[in-house]
Structure 1
Amino acid sequence: MTLSPKLAAEQEAPRSLWVDAFRRLLDNRLALFGLGFFVFISVLCYLGPIVYRLSPDSQVLALESTLPFTKVSLVEVRFDADKATPDEVTTLEDFADVYAINPETDVLQIAKKGTLNLNGIRFDKVERFHIMGTDSKGRDILARIMRGGRISLGVAFLATMTALVIGVNYGLVSGYFGGRVDALMMRFVDILYALPFLIFVILLMILFDGFRFKILLVFMAIGAVEWLTMARIVRGQVLHLKEQEFILAARATGVRTFSILTKHLAPNLIGPVIVYSTLLIPAVMLLESTLSFLGLGMGASMASWGTLIKDGQESMRSAPWELIAPSIFFSATLFAMNFLGDGLRDALDVKSAKD
């Protein structure tokens, strides 16, 4: 029996799991907000310095703990007149006290012309607008937040990838082979679960305190202790999938074990892995910030959000905006990633969608 063209046109075309999941994700406003905010933060941290050109390391001690939305006039000092970057940045008052030969005349001239040469030293007047104020050393807070975001997000992604590589492969092997292999591998995971991982990471950071590439040590240390849950999730999925007909058929036709693991099982794990990854990223960011808050994370030259929060805590009473600004960025990013992770979990959960 054949359908008429009209009925055939009205018949709904079958949709894949990913299409249905994408549509359910679009219906979740919190998940879309989380995704949009995360994209906004990423663009701000990585592309923001192209527009907002203030250096996060430029110190003007005279601008210590300046209030947000403050506009100031400064003088860039270049001991070599042809040098592109200034050797020092100071205020007009300090310029008059330290460098000016005739203070009133020199200050008036640089205010009008914007540039001045004295004894081979070049002085350029610049205007700065500190949107979020400055810290206790006169550094722009927003510029430091953008760089701190790059550090925190970078460590989170690298550590998450490390956890994925270890956890997915470990869970695949454990779940597929089963029996004694599975029992032995899972007992090892149980033993590691019983260890105080924060203390383990702290000891590792102290042991390699003089390590040159500290950022690599941080994400490797965090990633190496965050793979356990991923391994259990993958193992549970593999235990279910390996009894399905397509796996049994592959075994019966003599497909090699490596091909079954990589071509048949691994593609069916993409959904749970993506969901857990979005939930793991904020957990890693929180752990990295905890280490930085304790003084065991990034150094002063690569201050993450945790380091900025630690620095802001020291001047919380006299300049609360130094603590509030990085805390808002950090907390909002964690909320956004959790919203996105929950939305992806609901979108890829076929049973909950049917309910």
Structure 2
Amino acid sequence: MKAIVQDRYGSPDVLELREVERPVPGDHQVLVRVRAAAVNARDWHLMRGDPYLARLVLGLGAPKVKVRGTDFAGVVEAVGKDVTGLRPGDEVFGEAEGAFAEYVCAPAEAVAAMPAGLTYEQAAALPLAGNTALMGLRDLGRVRPGQRVLVNGASGGVGTFAVQIAKAFGAEVTGVCGPRNVDLVRSLGADHVVDYSREDFTRRGPRHDLVLDLVGNRSLADCRRALTPAGTLVLSGGGVSDGGSLVGPMALLVKGQALSLFVGQRLLVLTATPRRENLEALRDLVEPGEVTPVIDRAYPLREVPEAIRYLEVEHARAKVVITV
């Protein structure tokens, strides 16, 4: 099968389309014929081995997992002997290492039936970004109807889902984005849109019950100013740059946890974990039309390096997907 393979850390130039062996599913895995995949910030972090401390897990001199990509949508080809609820021919979406390929083996607990009415490209856009938004708002943020929620980075892959999910949960939503994306964020249902080139969201009123920061370009003190005295700040590690290339978002995690001991606000860092029940929760939001994946661009499999370069350099809005 064809796959995007990486032998060393570096720029998108280290990614190559090659013929590799088709994976074989284990007892608790499903083999999926990939129809579409999606690009995430995680992909270029893994591609570059950034932050450097993460290489202790990813591989010191080169990545242990050679095939890039995480999000996918496609058709089940085979299932392991202990897998229940899924069978060959099912249309599914989910998360697994090695999704930039014609076939991927995925843990059954990270795969679910595709939402009805979506294309493969739309379904592939959902898993990682949608799950990050869902866990940040529902699990850490504990969002409730009537609360004021601010999403910093509202036009990005996670942000476009976060705005819609917060609205579906009954919140009053403010989205922060650049000038070219104001109309997009407003079309997602945001009650208020802040153009960061014209206004500082940390200094405008009113204060918010929950701030979901997907950018990491403001200090903890700045973000806390946008919160009520008992509000919650959720920092997504996927977008946090504080700490530099050595430790990345871990520095901000330590700062947030230490500061939480002395203030009334909750300061939390989100690490999203793939779960079938979360995919099913996303499906339940998508099928009635409360959440719709937004796609910026689509690239064929052979152009994954260009897709990642676009995401990394051009600040893509919404999701960038790969057709297989």
- The interval holding the TM-score normalised by the smaller chain is under 0.3
TM-score, length of structure 2 as denominator length? 0.22
Larger RCO (alpha carbons 8 Å, 6+ apart): 1
TM-score, length of structure 1 as denominator length? 0.20
Larger radius of gyration: 1
